[in-house]
Amino acid sequence: MPDVQDAHGAQGDPLTLNAALVGRTYPSTPAYVVGREKVREFATAIGDLNPAYHSVEAARALGYSDVVAPPTFAFVVAYAGSSQAAMDPELGLDYSRVVHGEQRFSYARPIVAGDSLIATATIEAIRSVAGNDIVTTRVELATEAGEPVVTTTTVIVSRGTAEDPS
């Protein structure tokens, strides 16, 4: 998810989104299989040496079956789901103006290597504030067996006025 995309073209009328899509749930994504090396790669990329992210032994000592993914890794897994909503042509969102406004996670448990997760996205809210269109999308991440793991909520803002990107 880009935090800011093309800030050009930020002129003209505020976008009018299709509010009828509030409550729409998209088809679940194919399973994302969480690899041990991917978890280590992501943890390394954020500079986090927490042993639970790198060492199977350390993770098992904490009661997990394999290395634990850092909390924000859930966003990577959820992205295929959340982008289904944001890029739904029926929504009418101009993705070139989109800014990441807020991000929330609610964890039933941490993601661990070996998880096979499906993402199911729902548009939770659509509103317009001060000329900006704001879309809230919730993604439920669950195992293929149906165990809930993480709920992610992403608020994106499509800026209708030429203000500084944030």
Q: Does the protein bind another protein through residue 37 (CB under 8 A)?
A: no
- Binding of residue 120 to another protein (CB under 8 A): no
* Residue 22 engages another protein in binding (rule: CB under 8 A): no
DSSP-derived pairing of the beta strands 32-33 and 148-158: unpaired
Q: Is 32 in the site for another protein (CB under 8 A)?
A: no
Looking at residues 122 to 151 of the shown chain, list those that interact with another protein (rule: CB under 8 A): none
What is the C-alpha to C-alpha distance for residues 149 and 33, in angstroms, rounded to an integer? 14
Among 100, 106, 110, CA closest to 152: 106
Q: Does 103 bind another protein (CB under 8 A)?
A: yes
| The binder of another protein chosen from 29, 79, 122, 137 (CB under 8 A) | 79
Task: Please give the radius of gyration of the chain, using alpha carbons only, rounded to the nearest integer.
Answer: 18
- CA angle, 18 as apex, 86 and 96 as ends, to 5°? 40
21 or 107: CB nearest another protein:
107
Examine residue 64 and tell whether it contacts another protein (CB under 8 A): yes
Shortest Cβ distance from residue 55 to another protein (Å)?
13
Tokens 């203000």 found at = 163
In whole angstroms, what is the distance from residue 166 CA to residue 156 CA? Answer: 11
Q: Is 55 in the site for another protein (CB under 8 A)?
A: no
> Measured between alpha carbons, how far is 11 from 32 in angstroms, rounded to an integer?
38
Q: Which residues bind another protein (CB under 8 A)?
A: 1-8, 38, 41-42, 44-48, 50, 52-53, 62-64, 68, 70-72, 75-76, 79, 99-107, 109-110, 153, 164-166
